[in-house]
Amino acid sequence: RKSYNITLLPGDGIGPEVISVAKNVLNLAGSLEGIEFSFNEMPVGGAALDLIGVPLPEETLTVAKQSDAVLLGAIGGYKWDKNEKHLKPETGLLQLREGLGVFANLRPATVLPQLVESSTLKKEVAEGVDLMVVRELTGGIYFGKPRGFDTNEKGQEIGYNTEVYSAFEIDRIARVAFEIARKRNGKLCSVDKANVLEASMLWRKIITALASEFPDVELSHMYVDNAAMQLVRNPKQFDTIVTNNIFGDILSDEASMITGSIGMLPSASLGSSGPGLFEPIHGSAPDIAGQDKANPLATMLSAAMLLKYGLGEENAATRIEMAVLDTLDRGFRTGDIHSFGHKLVGCKEIGEEVMKSVDSGAGYT
């Protein structure tokens, strides 16, 4: 039997709810492929602040680094919103991404046939959308220096951040994106703000230069404001998108809505070595936390990405993906994706239904 160490980071809000059901599904899908998991649950975010006083305890990072893959729920909540920067849950997540060196964040957005009617876009616009946002995750304005608070020459308070990218950082994320585009349908759209920002001008230059190494990939460029518009005008024009940290954050939330709900979108964050970090793209959803209303499918699909991209266990990954589709086929929906004629269930119940689908091997051959 193969065995893997998985670090579980439930975090805050709906994080523990979605992680609990995703863990069960991961375990079951693994066991059907002869895989054994040992799980280490560690605190991060607000949970870690309350328990230990910092948003990313040293031990959490150490355990995560020593494991084969990390599955995270979500972090953040009203309780900690007014904390100083270094004591914010979000800072813990950024430290985790930086600490694991996971610079490439893959955020696939697929409109499932079962959920076309949950999209806010018209059926003919949404149907068949299948895109991959490759978001740079450990650089840009999130990490750039100088940053901070100060007083300007007029004595007014200021807050400032710096968008900064090195050629090295751009080159390595671009290579990941070109490779992904090559395996998909050979189209790569780089999204930037090169008409205004120097960091984007360098971004475009480096990516353009790299294109000669990938002659089979058709590279295009788009300004981010236009991209935000094009995503809702005609999302099917996109296949693979590569973009910086903050544009990727925003565009992936936008793309999620085309698929029906942010509760559906998984992600994989990968570095050049060491364990990957897998998490839904949504947050801790404090408005529905503790009510068993959260959609755990994004986290289950993140567990599938963990199997596929983190461990190379494609069969177990496919089992989860098929089970999610089968559960939707059988009519089960959480509130965020519910539409007329379907069975409205909570987080736990849809989790149990996915378990049944995994168990029966529905859709999996």
Is 90 a binder of ligand IPM (CB under 6 A)? yes
16, 140, 283, 310: which one contacts ligand NAD (CB under 6 A)?
Answer: 283
Which CB sits closer to ligand NAD, 155 or 159?
Answer: 159
Listed in sequence order, the residues at least 6 apart from 340 whose beta carbon sits closer than 8 Å to its beta carbon are none
What is the CB neighbour count within 10 angstroms for residue 313?
Answer: 21
Contact letters for ligand IPM, residues 283-322 (x by CB under 6 A): x---------------------------------------
In the set 12, 192, 249, 336, the catalytic residue is: 249
- Please say if 193 is a catalytic residue: yes
User: What is the edge-to-edge ordering of all strands in the sheet holding 104-110?
Assistant: 35-41, 2-11, 69-74, 276-278, 268-270, 104-110, 130-136, 240-243, 187-192, 218-223
CA-CA distance, 261 to 135, in Å (whole number)?
A: 19
Residue 342 to residue 259: CA distance in whole angstroms: 17
Nearer to ligand IPM, 13 or 76 (CB): 76
Q: Are 135 and 252 in contact (CB under 8 A)?
A: yes
Q: Is 49 in the site for ligand IPM (CB under 6 A)?
A: no
Nearer to Mn ion, 169 or 249 (CB): 249
From the CB of 165, what's the least distance to ligand IPM, in Å?
Answer: 16
116 or 131: whose CB is closer to ligand IPM? 131
Among 33-41, 89-97, 143-151, 290-298, the segment contacting ligand IPM (CB under 6 A):
89-97
Answer whether the bond into residue 89 is a cis peptide, omega within 30°. Answer: no
If binding is defined by CB under 6 A, does position 76 make contact with ligand NAD?
A: yes
For ligand IPM, the closer of residues 97 and 319 by Cβ is 97
Which one is catalytic: 4, 88, 142, 364?
Answer: 142
Residue 5 φ/ψ, nearest 5 degrees: -95, 120
In this structure, the strands spanning 218-223 and 35-41 are: unpaired
Element holding 159 (H helix, E strand): strand 157-160
CA 290, 295, 301, 306: dihedral to nearest 10 degrees?
-10
Q: Binders of ligand IPM among 232-261, rule CB under 6 A?
A: 249
* Whole-number Å distance between alpha carbons of 326 and 153: 62
The active-site residue out of 225, 287, 343, 359 is: 225
309 carries an active-site annotation: no
Based on C-alpha coordinates, what's the Rg of the chain?
Answer: 20
**Range 102-131, binding Mn ion (CB under 5 A):** none
Residue 82, phi then psi, degrees to nearest 5 = -95, 5
Comparison of 181 and 303: residue with beta carbon closer to ligand NAD:
303
Q: Is 225 a catalytic residue?
A: yes
Active site residues: 142, 193, 225, 249, 253
Residues that bind Mn ion (CB under 5 A): 249
Residues that bind ligand IPM (CB under 6 A): 76, 90, 93-94, 249, 281, 283
Residues that bind ligand NAD (CB under 6 A): 14, 74-77, 90, 93, 262-263, 279, 282-288, 294-295, 298, 336
